[in-house]
Structure 1
Amino acid sequence: MTEDPQAREKRPETQVRIGQGTGNRRELMVKALWIGVWLVFLSSPIHDLTSGRHTTGAIVAGALGLTAFVVAYLTLVFRNMGRPFTPQGVLSRLAVMVVLAPLLNYTLGNAWLGLFVYVSVACGATLPLRAAYWAIPATAVVMYLVERHNGVSEWDNTLLLVLLIGFAMVGVGQLVRTTVELRKARATVAHLAANEERLRLARDLHDLLGHSLSLITLKSELAGRMLPDHPDKAAQQVADIEQVSRQALVDVREAVTGYRRPRLAAELAGTEVALAAAGVAAEVPAEPDLAAVPEEAESVLAWALREAVTNVVRHSGADRCLVQLTHRQTLDGPVLELCVEDNGSGGAGSVPGNGLTGLTERLEKAGGSLEAGRVKHGFRLVARVPTAPTGDVGSGA
């Protein structure tokens, strides 16, 4: 995944971007300044080279060795800190530092002990965790042996500094790697959220257009049959088609913006009209009691009713349909139960379609459940939703 350029432009310039590469000249300068501050330990070797204590050959060799050492160190810190371990790149540069640090100390004196600090930092910042735990103490041991060879018998604070800074860089490197993983996880979560939103929109459009287009198709067929002999009735069907199509357009627009919540009372009224137009005798409750039903639960039941009626009209071949709304008290608390039962064949196939699958997901998110299947004389769909918020479940109906 790539970073959104607009989001990058809106990022404050002073914000620290842990675990990310430099994106412009200013960030490169800030990183170089932060790393350059810690080159203070090179002051002692540079002073030793310019003090006149060594021969010209030793000065030239020391300057070349110091340059190679610093280049290897800066390359490691700039390019590999927090990145996955690559043996060819990291080990070759670490080998240069590991060889030059004791060699320069052994030949030019204890003024070069600060190089071991950089070796420890490079090990902590670039090596894997387990390897760094061994490499840092080993660096301290080599430094101690070089000191003893050069005649230093007293305790040197540089030895403690090598250990502390090395393990501190292990922590910094681990922080950087964790930050990189969190960035990837955040991008993955955003991708999953976008997929979930697309799935929600697909369910909404299926529920909306499946119901409305079925009704439009049915009424168009009726208008076509009525047109030769009953033009007035055909005109009424055409007017109904226009009304349904306009409402479908409004619903689709609201679905796209994410602000549509169907109402159960309106769906019950629409159910009676849709079933009557399809020639299905319907028994529908007139004024349901929805006072204790949360808005989300009511919306899900409205979707369930719409899906059930659409299946009755399109697939069942039924001539009678019963719709019931019942308040029940269960062990999990009060629920509102919607039952839609017809005397048709239940449609072809035994695998639930997209509508029932999406409806099951909606009900589960609202804390409800769905039962659908063939009964003795037809097909029955039962949807249940809690009628109280989660914290109040069980307090009574």
Structure 2
Amino acid sequence: MKRTETEPNPVLIGTTPRTRRELLVKCAWIVIWFLYLTGPIGDLIDGMSPAHEVLGCAGLLTFVAVYFAVVFRHVVHRAWADKAAKAAVVFIAALAALLASVLGPNWLVLFTFVCVAVAVTQPFRTSRWAIPALTAALVLIGMRYEDVRSYLFAYALPCLLSGFAMVGVQHLIRTTKELREAREEVARLAAGEERLRLARDLHDLLGHSLSLITLKSELAGRMLPAKPEDAARQVADIERVSRQALVDVREAVTGYRRPRLAVELAGARAALRTASITADIDAALEGEHQGLAADEEGALAWALREAVTNVVRHSCAGRCEVLLTEEWEADERRYLCLSVTDDGTGPSRGGGHDGNGLSGLRERLALAGGRLETGAAPRGRGLSLRAYVPIGSRPATGTGGTAAA
């Protein structure tokens, strides 16, 4: 099962606009609903009595201005105070009732905008009864006009459904914000836990060694110049302990620096998103892979990094597919295959000459008992890179692949 990443730099739901373009997009989503005002505008164009025309023009302009102001402020996260928002909603509701009562049935569409404003600005405990009440008011006013009684539902149903649909959207926005905040908190906690783990490991590695070096240095200092031979033995011990400490630190740092698939996957997502390349990423990459040793996982992680780097830099692609499958070879060995395929039209990178990056990747995979294959994408457009590494004899879970006999 693949998961498709969304387009880069989207106008994220529930976020404050970060650029002028995002602000214009959000405003467009507000303004597009003004197409429903064709009925009232048509009445004004067709001609009305002078009094009604003045009332209609002034009332419509006032209604649109207040509605846009209150909804726009909530969209850009600079919402009015609760009392001010409530007063604005009550005002446009009264104005909608007045205009629909005086100017005709075409003005009943204003109640739809009022329901949307209620859903956007008010909590659910208020909107759950306010939206049906506004719909009932629309029906009561509409019953005054005999020519629309037979299809009054055409006004009432959009009013009711638009209001509760916007209630659902607001709930989605709140949930998305909470999820985004939870992810940020998890990331902060993970970073803090990693720092604590690094501190513990360094303390365990160096604490005893440095204490021993300090003790032996003091002892050697007291032995000089009376016992130079004993002092020399202490100095030799100091050298041995310090060398062992250096070896331990190097091994620990090597473990920290070893690439992980999960880490490289996050980097690949970010790189593709920044380059405006849609990513189809296999969900198997998210799981644990039993039987995959650290060296083999590191080789696959390097392969993912190199492949995505090539896609971003050279492919001119619009889409990149990343798959992880389990395959059996003719020698009865089981392999994990990482496949990165793009639809680019950039310079060929598989025509018999590898750059330094792919040459180094071949060597890394060979050291892990794997291999690298590159060639044209299955659809004949773009490049396909496949990195194979062997895995143990235990059944692998979470790979999401199918075994090929």
TM over 0.5: yes
Partner of 2:101: 106
8 Å CA contact retained: 1:82, 1:126: no
Calculate the aligned-residue CA RMSD, in Å. 2.9
Counterpart in 1 of 2:212? 215
Once the two structures are superposed, the pairs formed by residues 228-377 of structure 1 within 5 Å of their partners are 228-249=225-246, 251-252=248-249, 255=252, 259=256
The answer to whether the 8 Å contact 1:85/1:127 transfers is: no
TM-score (norm 2): 0.57
Per-residue CA deviation, residues 149-189 of structure 1 (Å, 9 max, x unaligned), is 33443232111111111111111110001101111111111
1:57-206 pair list within 5 angstroms: 57-81=51-75, 86-151=81-146, 152-156=148-152, 157-206=154-203
Question: Deviation per CA, 1:296-318, whole angstroms, max 9, x where unpaired?
Answer: 9xxxxxxxxxxxxxxxxxxxxxx
**Structure of higher RCO (CA pairs closer than 8 Å, 6+ residues apart):** 2
Identity of aligned residues (%): 53
Q: State the TM-score, normalized to the length of structure 1.
A: 0.58
**CA deviation map 1:4-35 (0-9, x unaligned):** xxxxxxx9555230110111111112112222
Q: Which residue identity is paired with 2:103?
A: L
Q: Per the alignment, do residues 250 and 90 of structure 1 end up closer, same or farther by CA in structure 2, a change over 3 Å counting? A: farther
Equivalent position to 1:19, from 14, 37, 48: 14
Q: Report the structure number with the largest CA radius of gyration.
A: 1
1:174 maps to a residue whose letter is H
**Amino acid across the alignment from 1:35:** I
State the alpha-carbon separation in 1 of the partners of residues 151 and 106 from structure 2: 15
Instruction: Give the direction of change, closer, same or farther, for the CA distance of 1:101–1:146 in structure 2 (3 Å limit).
Output: same
Q: Secondary structure at the match of 1:153?
A: helix
Letter paired with 1:26: R
- The 1-side partners of 2:257 and 2:142 are apart by 77
Q: Which runs of 5+ in 2 are unaligned?
A: 1-5, 259-292, 295-393, 397-405
> CA, structure 1 residues 170+123, in 2 after alignment: closer, same or farther (shift >3 Å)?
same
Cα gap change, 1:80 to 1:73, in 2 (>3 Å): same
Q: 1:210 to 1:28 in 2, by over 3 A?
A: same
How many angstroms apart in 2 are the aligned matches of 1:104 and 1:255? 76
Structure 1 pair 173–20 and aligned structure 2 pair: CA distance change class (3 A): same
Contact 1:105 1:112 in 2 (8 A): yes
Q: Residues 260 and 23 of structure 1: is their aligned pair in 2 closer, same or farther, counting only changes over 3 Å?
A: closer
Q: 1:256-278 CA deviation, whole Å, 9 max, x = no partner?
A: 675399xxxxxxxxxxxxxxxxx
Which amino acid is the alignment partner of residue 238 of structure 2?
I
Distance 1:259 1:171, change over 3 A: same
Q: Is the 8 A contact 1:254 1:260 kept in 2?
A: no
Structure 1: stretches of 5+ with no match in the other structure: 1-10, 262-294, 297-388, 392-397
2:42 paired residue among 43, 47, 51: 47
The change in CA–CA distance for 1:14 and 1:213 in structure 2 (over 3 A counts) is: closer
- 1:57-93 CA-partner distances (Å, limit 9, x unpaired): 3322221211121122222222225968941232122
- Aligned counterparts of 1:64 and 1:205: Cα–Cα separation in 2: 74
Q: Distance in 2 between matches of 1:82 and 1:160?
A: 29
